[in-house]
Amino acid sequence: MLVKQKDFRAVQRLTFCYLCAKDFVEGDQTNRDHVPAQSIFLEADREPLWLPTHIACNSGESLTDEKIGQLIALRYGKVPVDPAKRRLAITEFSAGLAALTNLDVDAAVWRWVRGCHAALYGEPLAGDFITSCPGALVTPFPRAPKGTGFPQIEKLRPQHAAFVQTLKLNRALENIDRVRSNKGRFLYECVWHKADRDGLWLCVFGIDVYDWKDLGQTPGHPARGCAGFYVLHDGNVPQGATQGRTSSIIYPSIDVLDPFGP
């Protein structure tokens, strides 16, 4: 568990860059990266998790950080006063729909996953970790294929509800890995399960930032929390990672689409 500042201090001494997964060597130019970016949070909430990185690896992420910071800031009603500083491009359609067209939310979230994996297990999440399965990541923001004109929103896959159920069950059993930072405004929880079909270990995770599920609510599509999974390239589980449990007890779940909901 990483939930207090004393927990975060230990991971600040990691010997590798969590972005490129390479060990630091003498002569490397290094700095640190907040996971998630500090700009996402109100100043009063900032108790960050930060990890060491190569300057070159981290330098290209500042614009993305600024964009996603402005997106999540909508959750607490903050918009840049100066229009010239507004980074988000939004296209409006009929029927009350609008689409964000210049931010890859999934890529930003996977970067947080990399950081949380490195912090929890003391090892990098190498670039070839497996996320290619459709539905490997669901964020609160419905998606539509690019270049389709009027957006045809992708349907939510049934495994999302299964991930939510898995996380809620293991939280109830106090059997979960957790990163809690920025005074609880950022939460990452995960647990490892062995797939029945091929025996690979899946990391099932959930992420919450300022209860962000309502930001993506779209007509005809229910609000949902963020959940997903990934597989290490070797199919194994990291040393010390929490392995999932099952239970015959039925735990109530009112919001079956939000891993942090009631």
**pLDDT at res. 128:** 65
Sorting pLDDT into bands at 50, 70 and 90, what band is 96?
low
Strands 226-231 and 90-92: unpaired
Q: Per-residue pLDDT averaged across 55-79, rounded?
A: 90
Taking residue 109's Cβ as centre, other Cβ atoms within 10 Å add up to 21
What is the residue whose two structure tokens read 């070797």?
234
Comparing CA positions, the residue from 130, 132, 127 lying closest to residue 20 is 127
Sorting pLDDT into bands at 50, 70 and 90, what band is 60?
confident
**pLDDT at res. 193:** 94
Question: What are the domain boundaries of the chain?
Answer: 5-231
Please tell me the distance from the alpha carbon of residue 255 to that of residue 107, in angstroms, as a whole number.
Answer: 26
pLDDT digits (tens, 9 = 90+) for 6-36: 899 989 999 999 999 999 999 999 999 999 9
Q: Per-residue pLDDT averaged across 85-100, rounded?
A: 80
Burial of residue 176 (number of CB atoms within 10 Å: 0-12, 13-18, 19+): buried
CB contact at 8 A, 231 and 203: yes
pLDDT digits (tens, 9 = 90+) for 151-209: 678 888 999 999 999 999 999 999 999 999 999 999 999 999 998 777 889 999 999 99
Q: Per-residue pLDDT averaged across 87-112, rounded?
A: 84
Sorting pLDDT into bands at 50, 70 and 90, what band is 250?
confident
Distance in angstroms between the alpha carbons of the first and the last residue of the chain: 22
Please tell me the distance from the alpha carbon of residue 260 to that of residue 187, in angstroms, as a whole number.
Answer: 9
Sorting pLDDT into bands at 50, 70 and 90, what band is 219?
confident
Burial of residue 135 (number of CB atoms within 10 Å: 0-12, 13-18, 19+): middle
**pLDDT at res. 27:** 94
Residues in the chain: 262
Please tell me the distance from the alpha carbon of residue 117 to that of residue 63, in angstroms, as a whole number.
Answer: 23
**pLDDT at res. 95:** 63
- Per the model's pLDDT, the better-predicted residue between 221 and 192 turns out to be 192
Say what the pTM is: 0.93
Question: DSSP labels for 97-156?
Answer: -EEE-S--HHHHHHHHHHHHHHHHHSS---TT-B--STTSEE-SS----TT-SS--PPPP
Distance of CA 208 to CAs 191, 203, 215, Å? 16, 17, 12
- Per the model's pLDDT, the better-predicted residue between 219 and 83 turns out to be 83
